[in-house]
Structure 1
Amino acid sequence: MTRRDMPWAEVEPLPELNGDLTSLLASVHALRRAWKAVVSANTEAFQEARRRSLRRHAIETGIIERLYDVDWGVTEALVAEGLTADAVARAGDGSLSEDVLDIIRSQYDALEFLAQAAREGRDVSVSLVRQLHVALTRLQPTYGATGPTGAAFQATLHHGEWKTQPNHVTRPDGSMLYYTPPEQVASQMDRLMALYRETESHDPVVRAAWLHHRFVRIHPFEDGNGRVARCLTLLGLLRCDLAPLVVDRRERNRYLLCLDQANEGDLRPLVRFFAELEIVALRSELERPPAPLDAAEPAGGAVAVLEAGLDRLRRLQTESGARRRAEDAAALAGAVHRKVESWLRGMADQFAVPLTGVDSQARTSVQSACPPDARARFWRWQVVQAARSVDFYVNLQQGVWWTRLRLVALGQELRYLVFIQKVGRGETGVLALTVYAEMLDNASDESAKQEAERLLVSSPTETVTWIHSDAPEAHWASVVDVLDTTLAGALHKFTSALG
């Protein structure tokens, strides 16, 4: 049954939110405390991590809007090395026009402007919204529009000016959602700013989600509203010492669904989505480089270089609280690791009967290892790929806590891997769970050497993060959600290849 169209609505105050958001928001702020401790220890590392975060946002915000497309390999090169043509050339697995690169650079400049505004204590205002729109769209002369007859054409984009024509969007069920009409935009934007100032006492993630959704419902510009909305989210977070979250292409569908649920009056899914992405953002900035970025290379040859490096390691190991954090994190990782192994063994038992029904030689097994076992260093490539996929540095000094579920049927082998990893250099006390799945052909031929095909790797919201002081049960429901979702995805691809 088709739902009725949704008319425009005046901006309403932030509603009371019910539900299980308290523990998730508490996790955000616990991680922020760990993040701030690392930042205070090495501001150079923080600045470089922040530049990477803003570069990623500058790239992904246009992809979300279908403004352009960028291959994943090129994206990673631009994030790591800078927004240059040389970085694109070195990526080796894609290309990018200079025009698109210029648009991405202009969006990055807008984000730098935003970060400076946050440092200066500027809050959201109508004038700032207009400035952001100009900065974000200055290299975009037109936008896609539809005429009275339904014909599509390119219309001139008026930078920083409110729309003069009504606009709407088609919702997933086929009904229409009408944005604020042009004659009401100025008054509704003023109302939005006034109501936002009244939310100062609320959690910054909740405030950011509410402002984001209400701005999108107004849709005050001809185009670029989503990009401006995501910038406003960043400003609110940065002013509260939180990290700039990134909505990337892998999360686009969930993002749009959360916005539509907010249209129906339920803001909680969008708050949860932003909280999960904020955890990802804070975690990705937990970095300690080998030395300050501007430090000169030690003089005196190889011995002096070695001694300087070892001295740095000793400082990391003996810093205040490092030993306690390491012990607590290891105990926590071990406890979660055992729960993951038990869960996967239960799944393996359930898979055995249906698999042998189609292949009498089919088999399932579960294997695991954890530090200080030497096998904890297995799967290094897969561990690094999983961490890179969700943008954090993984500490491999002692290995990781890993569990592997292996399924073999009809000459195919599935390896589903779950990793619990230390995050950041040194003992940050932060752990992350990621997953990776791969498949091999002709698994029964033990002599054949082949490269495994990657089936699945964690997306930003398919991870779980702990602080060393957490209890093993603290995020277990989230762990089960991640394992169930990703294992189902891996199995779908695996079984599709069997026939």
Structure 2
Amino acid sequence: MQDMPWSDVEPLQYLNGDLTSVLESVHALQGAWKAVVSANDVAFQEARRRSLRRHAIETGIIERLYDVDWGVTEALVAEGLTADAVARVADGAVSEDVLELIRSQYDALEFLTQAARDGRDVSVSLIKELHVALTRRQPTYTATGPTGMVFQATLHHGQWKSQKNHVTRPDGSVLEYTPPEHVAAQMDELVRLYQSTESADPLIRAAWLHHRFVRIHPFEDGNGRVARCLTLLGLLKYDLAPLVVDRRERDRYLRCLDRGNEGDLRPLVRFFSELEIVALRSELERPPVPLGETEMAGGALAVLGAGIDRLRGLQAETGAVERAKSTEDLAGAVQLRLGTWLNGMAEQFGVMLTGIDPLARASVQSAMPPDERARFWRWQVVQAARSVDFFANLQDGVWWTRLRLAALGQELRYLVFLQKVGRGETGVLALTVYAEMLSKDADEGAKQEAEQLIVSTPTETVTWIYTDTPEARWQSVVEVLDATLAGALHKFTSALG
């Protein structure tokens, strides 16, 4: 790359290209989300807190402030940001200092959520308040002196930088941020231009604000964390969910920012849109409401009665029957397409593999509800759903398609799942993938012997709502299948010898 000098903030330009489909997907899912989720619901509030806890953890990992094991992360998200949650994870270890930093970042998100509820808009004063809240537990930052010496400098909370903070990219080129003497004027202009874009789609506005804020880099440290919070503020004001950029998406996130530096904001808009779909889908989980004292005091019969009442309530929701029927028809139609695509790939794979092993085989199998086989692969289904942060509705089973490759004593199982999202009939359908490998002598039922090769990441999924057609997301399906299958095949062939 060439050196990139700093530049004045530029207004949001018209973005042409292929954004219409993904933005329509977001707003269609938002409609389904509003139909089944109440912002005052206890279960929704807990789902929102989990989203904010995940953001609080991952935003620091993205910046390399600390590292937290994935298992520990899941415990902290599910149970709360406590030392007890860490202790309950085998080999879990997070220092109290790191926990305090994560808690301060969570508190900043709570502050941001309240700001959105109060109708506060982006302003210079809000940005400075946000920086103070995010970094209050961070006394220093890593700085580089004029001679190249790295040292710990005092972090001035809520104050614009007083020294240049340009960065040298891995290829040696320099990315210049706004010089200190121009920061105040550029931040005033950023806020003014942002307020003039209210007619634009919230996700486009969020991506523009995010990128332009990062290009200014107004603070000594914490700029990425502030930028991601500003993105959430813009989304929350329009009844969208708080998206999370997690460690698995870091490289793509940075690539999208670099594309923005080159003048193309579309990759960042698409990236945020895909993460917003994940966020909305996650909040459809609606975990069961905790039992009250009356049910607990009433014993087993009272507990069972409360559970049955909850299930009846889900089944009786307005439009539940129609949503269920439409979702099932949609899943069946998508699965037919999946079968055709994977059978075509299997034929080609079989020919190629017999070149190294005459006994090599490639086959495709599938099942759908109400077939009992639709309940196969339960463990893999749950793992795939957890990986992208939503509840796997296994009441009737799932629509699954399996591509099996066997060669040189190894077996690859590449699984594509179509599953309903959330408890009850939300009308939302998600595609996830999971791939595993095992030796040919392994017992079919011995799942513990299989090695996980691939599991969906947040942007390696596809989501439909019950009013969609299979064609509406098919290009996205092919992109996910091609990318994940390529990754699985690379690991599979590497293990052959």
Q: What TM-score do you get using the length of structure 1 for normalisation? A: 0.97
User: What SS does structure 2 have at the residue aligned with 1:240?
Assistant: coil
**Contact 1:316 1:426 (8 Å CA) reproduced:** yes
Give 1:162 shift.
Answer: 0.4
**Contact 1:45 1:292 (8 Å CA) reproduced:** no
Give 1:361 shift.
Answer: 1.3
In the alignment, what sits opposite 1:308?
A: 306
**Contact 2:253 2:271 (8 Å CA) reproduced:** yes
- How far apart in 2 are the matches of 1:32 and 1:180? 37
- How far apart in 1 are the matches of 2:423 and 2:97? 37
In the alignment, what sits opposite 1:474?
A: 472
In the alignment, what sits opposite 1:338?
A: 336
Could you say if the C-alpha distance between residues 154 and 343 of structure 1 is closer, same or farther in structure 2, counting changes exceeding 3 Å?
Answer: same
Unaligned ranges ≥5, structure 2: none
Question: Partner letter of residue 390 of structure 1?
Answer: V
User: What SS does structure 2 have at the residue aligned with 1:25?
Assistant: helix
- Which one of 245, 248, 258 corresponds to residue 256 of structure 2? 258
- How far apart in 1 are the matches of 2:420 and 2:303? 26
**Contact 1:185 1:220 (8 Å CA) reproduced:** yes
Question: Partner letter of residue 47 of structure 1?
Answer: Q
In the alignment, what sits opposite 2:208?
A: 210
Could you say if the C-alpha distance between residues 265 and 321 of structure 1 is closer, same or farther in structure 2, counting changes exceeding 3 Å?
Answer: same
In the alignment, what sits opposite 2:4?
A: 6
In the alignment, what sits opposite 2:368?
A: 370
In the alignment, what sits opposite 1:69?
A: 67
The percentage of aligned residue pairs carrying the same residue is 79
Question: Partner letter of residue 233 of structure 1?
Answer: T
1:121 aligns with 2:122: no
Give 1:400 shift.
Answer: 0.3
Could you say if the C-alpha distance between residues 417 and 296 of structure 1 is closer, same or farther in structure 2, counting changes exceeding 3 Å?
Answer: farther
User: What SS does structure 2 have at the residue aligned with 1:357?
Assistant: coil
1:439 aligns with 2:448: no
Unaligned ranges ≥5, structure 1: none
- How far apart in 2 are the matches of 1:77 and 1:298? 26
User: What SS does structure 2 have at the residue aligned with 1:10?
Assistant: coil
**Contact 1:332 1:468 (8 Å CA) reproduced:** yes
- The CA RMSD over aligned residues, in Å, is 1.5
- Which one of 36, 39, 64 corresponds to residue 38 of structure 1? 36
In the alignment, what sits opposite 1:329?
A: 327
**Contact 2:58 2:247 (8 Å CA) reproduced:** yes
**Contact 1:42 1:288 (8 Å CA) reproduced:** no
1:489 aligns with 2:487: yes
User: What SS does structure 1 have at the residue aligned with 2:219?
Assistant: coil
Question: Partner letter of residue 181 of structure 2?
Answer: E
- How far apart in 2 are the matches of 1:400 and 1:262? 39
1:456 aligns with 2:458: no
**Contact 1:44 1:292 (8 Å CA) reproduced:** no
The worse-fitting range, judged by mean Cα deviation, of 429-438 and 20-29 is 20-29
Give 1:444 shift.
Answer: 4.2
**Contact 2:50 2:77 (8 Å CA) reproduced:** yes
1:10-159 alignment, distance < 5 Å: 10-40=8-38, 43-159=41-157
> For each residue in 1:436-479, what CA deviation from the matched residue of structure 2 results, as whole angstroms up to 9, or x when unmatched?
011112x1465995611111100000000000000010000000
In the alignment, what sits opposite 1:356?
A: 354
User: What SS does structure 1 have at the residue aligned with 2:27?
Assistant: helix
Question: Partner letter of residue 465 of structure 1?
Answer: T
> For each residue in 1:173-231, what CA deviation from the matched residue of structure 2 results, as whole angstroms up to 9, or x when unmatched?
43211000000000000000000000001100000000000000000000100000000
User: What SS does structure 2 have at the residue aligned with 1:492?
Assistant: helix
> For each residue in 1:52-78, what CA deviation from the matched residue of structure 2 results, as whole angstroms up to 9, or x when unmatched?
000000000000000000000000000
- How far apart in 2 are the matches of 1:285 and 1:299? 31
In the alignment, what sits opposite 2:182?
A: 184
- How far apart in 2 are the matches of 1:455 and 1:268? 31
Q: What is the aligned length?
A: 496
- How far apart in 1 are the matches of 2:414 and 2:184? 53
User: What SS does structure 2 have at the residue aligned with 1:367?
Assistant: strand
Could you say if the C-alpha distance between residues 157 and 362 of structure 1 is closer, same or farther in structure 2, counting changes exceeding 3 Å?
Answer: same
- Which one of 232, 235, 245 corresponds to residue 234 of structure 1? 232
In the alignment, what sits opposite 1:163?
A: 161
- How far apart in 1 are the matches of 2:187 and 2:421? 41
Could you say if the C-alpha distance between residues 124 and 315 of structure 1 is closer, same or farther in structure 2, counting changes exceeding 3 Å?
Answer: same
**Contact 1:298 1:308 (8 Å CA) reproduced:** no
Could you say if the C-alpha distance between residues 482 and 298 of structure 1 is closer, same or farther in structure 2, counting changes exceeding 3 Å?
Answer: same
User: What SS does structure 1 have at the residue aligned with 2:23?
Assistant: helix
